[in-house]
C-alpha cells in the first residue's frame, strides 16, 4: 500500500526480506540526497518538455503577426454600444506604432499620425494593421477607353483607374481616368 511492499512473517521465514545493513547515517543521507536529485532533475526535464509542447501548440493558433515600429494601425473602439455584429468596431483615426515590445511582449505604444505627442499603451488584441491598397497592372486583353457606367454593380476605382470585375471575378482595367473624374464616381446602388 502507498508504494511499499508489506512485510509479512512468512517473508522472514522464507528469507525474502533482507536484513538491515549496518552503516552510518551520513552515508544514508548522501544516498538519499542523490536519489532526490535524480527525481527532481527528471521532473524538471518533463516540465520543460511539457512547457515547450504547450507553447508550440499555442503558437499554431496565433493569427496576427507582430507589428513593427512606424507601422500604421487602427485602434479598436471599445466604447461601441449595442450589437457588435453590425457596427464598425475599429476607430477611423489612424495610429502609428511608436514603440514595439521587445521579445515576447504584447503591449505596444501608439500615437495618432497627426499628433505623435498623444502616446497610448495598448494590447496587441486592440490593434489592427492598416493595409495598403495594391492596384493591379493593366491587363493586355482589355483595351483602354472601353466605356463602363459608374452604376455597374461590380466596379472599383484605384489610383485614378477604373477597374471592372468580370463574371469570373477577376479584376480588369477598363479605362484610365484622371483624379478629378475618379472623385465624381458614386458607389453603385444597393442590390
1 within a domain of the structure (yes/no): no
> What per-residue confidence (pLDDT) applies to 188?
55
> What per-residue confidence (pLDDT) applies to 160?
54
Cell numbers standing for residue 6 = 508489506
> Apex CA 143: angle with CA 137 and CA 147, to 5°?
105
Domain that holds residue 43: 19-59
Q: How far apart are CA 144 and CA 162, in angstroms?
A: 10
pLDDT digits (tens, 9 = 90+) for 116-153: 899 999 999 899 998 866 555 544 444 444 444 444 34
Give the CA dihedral 109, 112, 117, 120, nearest 10 degrees.
Answer: -30
64 within a domain of the structure (yes/no): no
pLDDT digits (tens, 9 = 90+) for 18-74: 777 788 899 989 999 999 999 999 999 999 999 999 988 988 876 667 888 999 999
Instruction: Indicate yes or no: pTM above 0.85.
Output: no
Q: Of the given ranges (10-24, 80-94, 134-148), which has the lowest mean pLDDT?
A: 134-148
Same domain as 121, residue 159: no
Same domain as 77, residue 55: no
Q: How far apart are CA 19 and CA 163, in angstroms?
A: 94
Burial 148-182 (b: 16+ CB within 10 A, else e): eeeeeeebebeeebbbbeeeeeebbbbbeeeeeeb
Q: What is the mean pLDDT of residues 2-10?
A: 79
10 within a domain of the structure (yes/no): no
Same domain as 138, residue 120: no
Q: State how many domains the chain has.
A: 3
66 within a domain of the structure (yes/no): no
Same domain as 168, residue 115: no
What CA–CA distances, in Å, run from 11 to 2, 14, 18, 48, 106? Answer: 19, 5, 10, 43, 64
Q: Which residue has the cell 483607374?
A: 161
Same domain as 50, residue 81: no
> What per-residue confidence (pLDDT) applies to 70?
92
> What per-residue confidence (pLDDT) applies to 73?
93
65 within a domain of the structure (yes/no): no
148 within a domain of the structure (yes/no): yes
> What per-residue confidence (pLDDT) applies to 49?
97
Same domain as 144, residue 190: yes
114 within a domain of the structure (yes/no): yes
Selected residue with higher pLDDT from 10 and 156: 10
Amino acid at each position: 500500500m502507498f508504494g511499499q511492499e508489506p512485510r509479512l512473517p512468512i517473508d522472514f521465514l522464507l528469507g525474502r526480506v533482507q536484513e538491515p545493513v549496518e552503516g552510518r547515517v551520513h552515508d544514508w543521507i548522501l544516498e538519499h540526497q542523490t536519489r532526490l536529485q535524480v527525481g527532481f532533475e527528471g521532473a524538471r526535464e518533463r516540465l520543460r518538455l511539457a512547457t515547450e509542447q504547450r507553447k508550440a501548440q499555442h503558437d499554431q493558433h496565433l493569427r496576427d503577426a507582430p507589428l513593427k515600429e512606424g507601422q500604421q494601425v487602427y485602434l479598436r473602439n471599445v466604447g461601441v454600444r449595442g450589437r457588435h455584429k453590425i457596427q464598425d468596431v475599429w476607430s477611423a483615426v489612424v495610429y502609428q506604432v511608436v514603440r514595439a515590445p521587445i521579445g515576447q511582449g504584447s503591449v505596444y505604444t501608439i500615437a495618432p499620425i497627426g499628433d505623435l505627442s498623444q502616446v497610448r499603451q495598448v494590447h496587441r488584441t486592440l490593434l489592427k494593421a492598416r493595409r495598403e491598397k495594391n492596384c493591379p497592372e493593366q491587363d493586355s486583353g482589355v483595351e483602354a477607353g472601353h466605356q463602363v457606367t459608374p452604376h455597374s454593380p461590380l466596379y472599383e476605382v484605384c489610383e485614378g483607374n477604373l477597374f471592372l470585375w468580370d463574371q469570373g471575378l477577376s479584376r480588369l482595367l477598363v479605362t484610365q481616368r484622371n483624379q478629378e473624374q475618379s472623385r465624381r464616381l458614386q458607389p453603385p446602388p444597393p442590390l
